[in-house]
Amino acid sequence: MLFILSLIVIGGISAAALSPVAQAAGSEAPPFTLTSIDGLNFSLSDYRGKVVVLDLMATWCPVCQAEMKELAQLRQEKTEVVILTVSVDPVERDESLRNFREEYNADWIFARDTDNILVKYNAFSLPTIVVIDPQGYISFQKAALVSTEELALEVEKAYSGGIEEPEEPERPGKAVPPVTGLYLLALLAGVMSFFAPCAFPLMPGYISYYLGRYEGGPTLRGSVKAGIASATGINGIFALIGAAVAVGGAAVKSYLMYLAPGVGVAIILLGLAMVFGKTEIFDRFGGILSSYSSKLGGGARYSGLFLYGVGYGLASMGCQAPVFIALIFAGLASGGALEALLIFLSFSVGMGGMMLTVSVLVGSAKMTILERVRRMVPYINRACGVILIIVGVYFLVEFI
């Protein structure tokens, strides 16, 4: 079990390390032109000679909200730094962004992403903080909460390394072609969503539940079927959200903002069920999808795995929704419904492929390992239940 989980974690770390975000430092900052919520037209090139801190965010992202406090402190300490906060939420409105700015008493420039900045800067998750040196090159990029201390340090590095005018150096990191870039971004975003912190704690419980469905251990064929069932559940959730976004536009956002608290309550209930050994609830509810499971040829076993995939997709959507929605809208803007569909399929290959890979890895484990794990299932379930309760409480604290 530990070996399998290690492979999963290593795979997630490798995916992050190989992504364009991890390689962005030192590349030329992609140009953009926006209009602020106050009607000011500006371009990145307008601030050549100054250090720019670019904050890519969404107003309903809890980590983005926490980042605002760090940026406000940086503003007080380094007034010469240009701070640009850009909402990459495709259905954001100037009014909501203006209210967000007033809530945090921010006095710097706020704008909506109308120049495809999400794709240009390969922002896989939010917030993404980018520090651009006086010569227009990226000196720092991080998709996480960045403290004021770290920001101040990176600003100083940008000043010290960017005062000299370079003699037209050839720098790596040119933007990939728009269409190919969207496909690649969607694929990698799907992989990263599988390892999202709001969903990954469900993985040990999935492995335990999966192994508990088989007598004598799953076969390779059974592992593939189980992986397909779970991946279908995951991608089904993203398909529904993507279709709703494409059809409903701005109206969908007002419902999605309540997703994370609902997921928090659901995860707490799931955790309590696992702590008290009430896991048979999966099998009872799984009977609802018996017609689906019969197509896969495995009885209620596969419907339960499908439902686990649904839960995993809901949990992942809780913190990956802004990026996924933005990708769908980027596809609609660049090539219409067909382009959005191809982007969704790329995302599905990334996320669903990871679930299929995990299922096959688990199914390929030696029988001695499976027997040991099976004896430990009650204890693993209780431990996972405690973890799920903690994760659920975190959701409620962050979103209520």
Q: At 234, is the pLDDT very low, low, confident or very high (cuts 50, 70, 90)?
A: confident
d(CA 302, CA 307): 9
Query: In 3D, which of 239, 24, 235, 5 has the Cα closest to residue 124?
Result: 24
Query: In 3D, which of 324, 30, 44 has the Cα closest to residue 176?
Result: 30
Is the torsion defined by CA of 39, 45, 50, 53 positive or negative? positive
* CB 121, CB 141: distance < 8 Å: yes
Is 4 within a domain? Answer: no
Report residue 356 as tokens. 């299929």
What is the average pLDDT score of the chain?
72
Q: Are residues 135 and 273 in the same domain?
A: no
Final residue in a domain of this structure, among 162, 195, 215: 162
Higher pLDDT, 179 or 361: 361
Q: Are residues 83 and 191 in the same domain?
A: no
Q: Are residues 217 and 152 in the same domain?
A: no
**Digit-coded pLDDT (tens) for 327-360:** 776 666 555 567 778 888 888 888 888 888 877 7
Q: Are residues 113 and 191 in the same domain?
A: no
pLDDT at 174: 39
pLDDT at 39: 95
* CB 35, CB 114: distance < 8 Å: yes
Is 348 within a domain? Answer: yes
The most confident of the ranges 131-145, 165-179, 223-237, 269-283 is: 131-145
Q: Are residues 215 and 157 in the same domain?
A: no
For the cut 60, the answer to whether the pLDDT of residue 46 exceeds it is yes
Please give the distance of CA 257 from its chain centroid, rounded to a whole number.
15
Is 381 within a domain? Answer: yes
For the cut 70, the answer to whether the pLDDT of residue 299 exceeds it is no
**Residue 88 CB partners (closer than 8 Å, separation 6+):** 56, 57, 58, 113, 117, 118, 123, 126, 322, 323, 326
Lowest mean pLDDT among 36-40, 55-59, 365-369: 365-369
Burial class (CB in 10 A: 0-12, 13-18, 19+), 160: exposed
pLDDT at 149: 95
* CB 151, CB 70: distance < 8 Å: yes
Final residue in a domain of this structure, among 122, 138, 162: 162
According to DSSP, residue 79 is labeled: T
Is 9 within a domain? Answer: no
Percentage of the chain exceeding pLDDT 90: 24
Structurally, the chain folds into a number of domains equal to 2
Q: Are residues 82 and 39 in the same domain?
A: yes
Q: Are residues 245 and 366 in the same domain?
A: yes
Q: Are residues 137 and 183 in the same domain?
A: no
Query: In 3D, which of 319, 349, 63, 316 has the Cα closest to residue 200?
Result: 316
Is the torsion defined by CA of 390, 395, 398, 400 positive or negative? negative
For range 284-313, the mean pLDDT: 56
pTM of the model: 0.50
Is 1 within a domain? Answer: no
Q: Are residues 143 and 255 in the same domain?
A: no
d(CA 311, CA 266): 9
Q: Are residues 151 and 294 in the same domain?
A: no
Is 297 within a domain? Answer: yes
β-partners of residue 84 are 54, 109
Q: Are residues 228 and 136 in the same domain?
A: no
For 157-219, give the DSSP string: HHHHHHSSPP-S---S-PPPPHHHHHHHHHHHHHHHHHT-TTTGGGHHHHHHHHHTT-SS---
pLDDT at 254: 47
Percentage of the chain exceeding pLDDT 70: 57
Is 378 within a domain? Answer: yes
For 111, phi and psi rounded to 5 degrees? Answer: -155, 165
For range 316-337, the mean pLDDT: 65
Q: Which amino acid is at 187?
A: L
The most confident of the ranges 60-69, 121-130, 285-294, 300-309 is: 60-69
Q: Are residues 140 and 280 in the same domain?
A: no
Is the torsion defined by CA of 126, 261, 272, 351 positive or negative? negative
Q: Which amino acid is at 237?
A: I
**Digit-coded pLDDT (tens) for 238-264:** 888 777 766 655 444 444 455 556 656
* CB 198, CB 374: distance < 8 Å: no
Residue 97's CB is within 10 A of a number of other CB atoms, namely 22
Final residue in a domain of this structure, among 95, 130, 162: 162
Which stretches of the chain are assigned E, i.e. beta strand? 33-35, 41-43, 52-57, 82-87, 109-112, 128-132, 138-142
* CB 344, CB 185: distance < 8 Å: no
Range of the domain at 113: 24-162
* CB 30, CB 116: distance < 8 Å: no
Is 17 within a domain? Answer: no
CATH number of the domain encompassing residue 91: 3.40.30.10
**Digit-coded pLDDT (tens) for 55-101:** 999 887 788 899 999 999 999 999 999 999 999 887 788 999 999 99
